[in-house]
Amino acid sequence: MSLYSVLLVDDEAEVFQVIMKKLDWERMGFHIAGYARNGVEALEIAEELQVDVVMTDIKMPYMDGLTLCKKLKELYQSIKVIIFSGFDEFEYAKEAIKIEAEEYILKPINASELREVFERIKGNLDRELDEKRNIDKLREYYMESLPVLQENFYTSLIEGQISPDEIQQHAKNYQIHLNGPFFVAAILHISSAAAGEEDVISDAMLLSMSVKKLAEEQLAGKWDSKTVTYLGDIIVITQLADEESITPFTDRMDRICKMAKRVCKARVTAGIGHVCSRPEQLSASYQGAKNAISYRVLYGTTRAINIAETDPQEHGDIPWEEPYIREIIKKIKMGEANALKAVILQFTSQISGKRMSLQKYRILIMELLTEIFRFGANNQINLDAIFGENSDVYAQAMQLESPESLGAWLEDRCLKMQRQILEERRDTTKSFVTRAIEYVKEHYADQDLSIETICHYLNVSAAHFSTVFKKETGKTFINYLTDYRMQEALNLLLTENEKTYIIAQKVGYLDPNYFSYVFKKQFGMSPSKYKSSRAAQDD
């Protein structure tokens, strides 16, 4: 059985022993993870051990129990704090409640009372853990979130942000069936409410919801459609049984526009995109629908405009390459070499399977290289180091004699870009930690120096800073700062004839007693004893 961890905090060591002997901790589901003699030390240990419960006295040097409780609650919302004190004062109890301490108990601590307190604490911890693990609750939350997740999926699909090999898995996760075999994207664009009509809905969002509801009612049963609101428009994604179904679908959308004028008092134009055979092509179909909407300036509103009928020249092949190019860029950025190789192979395999003209191939290569160069420029990549200084990259690519040779050439360049980004990222991390260390060297004497100070200076979150700093140095920031201050204190003790309280101030400690406490904890003896022992050795 997993035990909950407890940190005991009191400046009197004998109190620890008394508390430990009062209960059979393991039988109750707890274990004592550590001890601290003051609030400052307790914060360091809590950060290091990530304890579940802190039991603290109120009256302690350097940081009292109430301040400790407040700071713990700010840093770790789920932590449970028990405050015990020899002071039976209402103000203390009121403050404990205010800062959300779980319990406030008085010394001397009664064993049965303490057992009851920890039984309640364990009950609360168990319930919180059960809630996190409760599959039914997770499933219920998932089902409540499903409509939003589905809308996000559809909008990402029309934006072309999902790679082709991930679409079906996402669809399965969000309980969406993309069986096709054909697909089309359409847009219902609301120009305005009809002027001069009675009962006109003036609120744009309410008008949009009204049109969306009307469309859903008119498409239900006959059409396998999904409607989502996106950028002020209503997007209709429809699965068709065959390509010929686009004609009756266009007619249905036209009727919806006319009904919207009559029922919702709205001037609506429907733009119909190209029919496509794969879900990843819906982004291109959506672009066609947007282009169809723009033709309303010629054909008017309150009608459906099919881009294939309006501008047949635009139809051509649905541009299959865009998702692949985006995915190549994404894999370069993610730093996964094998994933990058795989998507480049998919891309070149698609080229092999297409019968395209030389002109189309040249345009494709130009688009690919343009996106790669744009990405490189935006990410400060040394492109000369990747492609060669003053070289004609387009000419290099066009001289390759097969999709396989293009793939090998592309893989080599993209992997170089990927490595350069990873090195830059590592250098940034090292620079990040180096700046923090330099800041400590310059400001260790500042009594207010803390993790909040350094994070404000670096303009990063405390969570990210703590993770990176410990990974690079092997120490928490507080431990590193303490070690650095103690080393400086040693140097001052041995080189300057100053009082202990002066040295304490010079290394960032306002309270000389706390300085002596930390020094003794670090080196096993007080500053004065250390100085005298070194002097005796020198003699």
Print pLDDT tens along the chain (539 aa).
Answer: 589 999 999 888 778 788 888 888 899 999 999 888 888 888 888 888 889 999 988 888 888 888 888 888 888 888 999 888 776 665 666 666 677 788 888 877 788 888 998 999 999 998 888 877 776 777 777 788 888 888 899 998 988 888 888 888 888 888 989 888 999 999 999 986 544 455 555 677 888 899 999 999 999 988 999 999 988 899 999 999 998 999 999 989 999 999 998 888 888 999 999 999 989 899 989 988 998 888 776 677 888 999 887 765 554 444 667 778 888 888 888 778 888 899 889 888 888 776 666 777 888 888 888 888 888 888 778 888 888 877 788 888 888 777 888 888 889 988 988 888 877 766 666 677 888 899 999 999 998 898 888 888 888 777 778 878 888 888 888 899 999 999 999 999 888 888 889 999 999 998 888 899 899 988 888 888 888 887 666 65
Q: What is the 3-state secondary structure (H, E, C) of 99-127?
A: CCCCEEEECCCCHHHHHHHHHHHHHHHHH
81 CB-contact burial (10 Å; exposed 0-12 / middle 13-18 / buried 19+): buried
Task: Please name the CATH architecture into which domain 4-133 falls.
Answer: 3-Layer(aba) Sandwich (3.40)
Question: What pLDDT does 195 receive?
Answer: 43
Per domain, the residue ranges of the chain are: 4-133, 145-315, 321-423, 444-538
Question: What pLDDT does 6 receive?
Answer: 92
Residue 460's Cβ-side half-sphere holds a number of Cα atoms within 13 Å equal to: 18
Decide whether 4-133 matches 145-315 in CATH topology.
no
Strands 266-272 and 182-193: antiparallel
The Cα–Cα gap between 229 and 500 comes to 69
Q: CA dihedral defined by 259, 265, 267, 269, rounded to 10 degrees?
A: -30
* CATH domain 145-315 topology: Alpha-Beta Plaits (3.30.70)
Question: What pLDDT does 219 receive?
Answer: 92
Q: Answer yes or no: are the C-beta atoms of 185 and 237 closer than 8 Å.
A: yes
- Residue 118: which of 7, 2, 14, 30 has the closest Cα? 30
Q: Give exposure, 134-170, as e/b (b: 16+ Cβ within 10 Å).
A: eeeeeeeeeeeeeeeebbebbbebbebebbbeebeeb
Sign of CA dihedral 410, 413, 419, 425: negative
Residues 6+ apart with CB under 8 A from 96: 66, 69, 83, 104
Question: What pLDDT does 218 receive?
Answer: 92
Global pTM value: 0.50
* CATH domain 444-538 topology: Arc Repressor Mutant, subunit A (1.10.10)
The Cα–Cα gap between 171 and 140 comes to 19
Question: What pLDDT does 316 receive?
Answer: 45
